[in-house]
A and B are shown apart, each in its own frame.
Chain A
Amino acid sequence: MENRLIITKYSDQYYPPTPNNFTLFLRKSVIFQIIRFFILNYKIMKILVKGHS
């Protein structure tokens, strides 16, 4: 990580946010992701149903 920042200083690659360990953990946590799976499905269905008449 440190290496990347030194190498990319002042370039476009230097500035974007990077996920911390907790975020990375949540992205892989099976229990959390099962819950998200249902929420994401629900959100997609919501926009789909409203999208056309």
Chain B
Amino acid sequence: MAKILILGAGVAGHTAAAYLQRGLNKKHEITVVSPTSTYQWIPSNIWVGVGRMTPEEIKFDLRPLYKKWGINFVQAKAQTFFPEGDTEINSAYVEVEYTSKEEAGLKLKLEYDYLINATGPKLNFEATEGLAPGNGNIASVCTFGHASHAWELFQEKLDLMQNGQKQIFVIGTGHPTATCQGAAFEYILNVDFEIKRRGLEKFAEVVWITNEYELGDFGMGGAFIPKGGFISNTKLFAESYFVERNITWIKRAGVKKLDDHKIYYENLDGEYLEQVYDFAMLIPGFAGHGFNAFDKNGEDISTKLFAPSGLMKVDADYTQKPFEQWSINDWPETYQNPSYPNIFAPGIAFAPPHSISKPMSSKNGTAIFASAPRTGMPSGIMGKVTADNIIDWIKTGNAIMKHKASMGRMGAACIVSAGYGMSKGTAATMTVNPVVPDWDKYPDWGRDINTTMGEPGLAGHWLKWFMHYMFLYKAKGKPFWWLIPE
């Protein structure tokens, strides 16, 4: 009997759990640890943040499903890793702390043969002074709770505009090296859409603030896309979207601090500037959760397991090299920790070898650029590949690692919602293939130009809406869920 411990029940962790229970005999023990018992379809937070969906529509309770699947669920947060056990316990384990009301604070040692760390990002609001959602006029859409508060705040601002009071909405990135620009991009377009739908645009100024060197970088160095007889790029695509909607932008900006009405930022020219706002939704920096690890004798081995960012080290090439020498081969394929091969870190939990966009610094030495994104589709694929490799390992007794999914070889699709509605809605369907540009294979454009695209239109909204229900259907383990791709 093998013991598989999964930390995190997000896109990567839940996908891995689903495939493991399907592929393994019931005699094996699968345990999922997560601080909340709900699964949330994060991309739809955007619609919660503008009042088009309720949190109930985007989440569900995992416990009945895990019971049906024979998976143990522990409502707790992982804290300390003991990959060799300790002087008393001979087996590898993770110490977790319960988070449910009844058992809050109690600790438990969970032993494992295989460990999947799919704890995603720590939303590092503390890294930017004043950024925490709930602080005055600041919102976030990173969780359904945040998004629901964002909608409340947005409604207050809509009321003020209805009374003829002008409001400035500033949306974008809230840390000099933040990622997830795509989510902020969707939110600004939806906020703008909702303002215009109510005919309030003359009372609104909508501003995009970003650490991207150019708009449309999205943390993946931008992308070339075929458009109107040209090979165009996502810079023009994003700018065109904003110009069409009269949204202005501030780029190359590293947000350092917020107070109730002002955002303080430094730009790549080294200038310290301010932007006034009445409503701000800025994506925080992402970090690891600050886990510690110890060996059998109690020696701290955290640096063996985790990179300085706190994210987990995997089979990536972490050698420091200049941007010009970066290659797709730097990117991991199996998400296996090099020191402890029975530990895996799919999704946002793994430490990328470097960013995808070129690192830039201001004259004052502040790093201002977009970190590498890891969107839902790659995170789901990584979760599945991890499950498939563990299943093979358990069944054959050998760590063959046949299943691979590198961001330098896989594509990703992201549907950028720009307004909700079955006849008036719109979204841009964006695909990049591969996610990390491969300049050896595609010397002209870095990616396969036939499958990299950005297309705005009503069909995009249908796709996004359809995916919302399809992915929740899959996550709920409804009949034939496994036929639905990640």
Residues of A in contact with B (beta carbons under 8 Å apart): 4, 12-13, 15-19, 26-30, 33-34, 36-37, 40-41, 43-53
Contact = CB atoms under 8 A, between A and B. Distances in A.
B381 A36 contact: no
Given A47-B433, A52-B381, A13 B459 contact: no
Contacts of B456: 27
A13 B243 contact: yes
Contact of B426 (A27, A37, A47, A53): A27
A4 B243 contact: yes
B403 A18 contact: no
Given A18-B244, A27-B457, 4 more contacts: A13-B243, A27-B456, A37-B463, A51-B412
A49 B483 CA distance: 12
B411 A51 contact: yes
23 contacts: A4-B243, A13-B243, A13-B249, A16-B243, A17-B236, A18-B240, A27-B457, A29-B458, A33-B457, A33-B458, A37-B462, A43-B451, A47-B410, A47-B413, A47-B431, A47-B433, A47-B451, A48-B413, A51-B381, A51-B405, A51-B433, A52-B404, A53-B403
B377 interface: yes
Contact of A44 (B409, B431, B457): B431
B403 A48 contact: no
A43 B453 contact: yes
Contacts of B402: 53
B459 A33 contact: yes
Nearest to B434: A51
A41 B96 CA distance: 41
Given A34-B459, A52-B405, A40 B429 contact: yes
A48 B460 contact: no
Tell me the interface secondary structure of chain B in the complex: mixed
Contacts of B251: 12
Interface in B322-370: none
Nearest to B429: A40
Contacts of A40: 429, 455, 459-460, 463
B436 interface: no
Contact of B239 (A16, A29, A52): A16
Nearest to B448: A47
A52 B456 CA distance: 27
B485 A45 contact: yes
A33 B465 CA distance: 14
Contact of A27 (B384, B412, B458): B458
Interface of B: 236, 239-240, 242-244, 246, 248-249, 251, 377, 381, 384-385, 402-405, 409-413, 423, 426, 429, 431, 433-434, 451, 453, 455-460, 462-463, 485-486
Contacts of B377: 48
A46 B423 CA distance: 27
Contacts of A37: 459, 462-463
Contacts of B455: 36, 40
B203 to A, nearest CB: 17
Name which of B377, B409, B456, B458 has the most chain A CB atoms within 10 A of its CB: B458
A19 B404 CA distance: 41
Name which of A19, A29, A47 has the most chain B CB atoms within 10 A of its CB: A47
A11 B309 CA distance: 37
A4 B246 contact: yes
Contacts of A53: 402-405
A30 B423 contact: yes
Contacts of B409: 51-52
A29 B244 CA distance: 18
A16 B240 contact: yes
B329 to A, nearest CB: 16
Contacts of A47: 410-413, 431, 433, 451
A29 B148 CA distance: 33
A28 B458 contact: yes
A50 B413 CA distance: 13
B485 A19 contact: no
Name which of A4, A52, A53 has the most chain B CB atoms within 10 A of its CB: A52
Contact of A33 (B240, B242, B453, B462): B462
Name which of B244, B377, B456 has the most chain A CB atoms within 10 A of its CB: B244
Given A4-B243, A37-B463, A40-B455, A51 B410 contact: yes
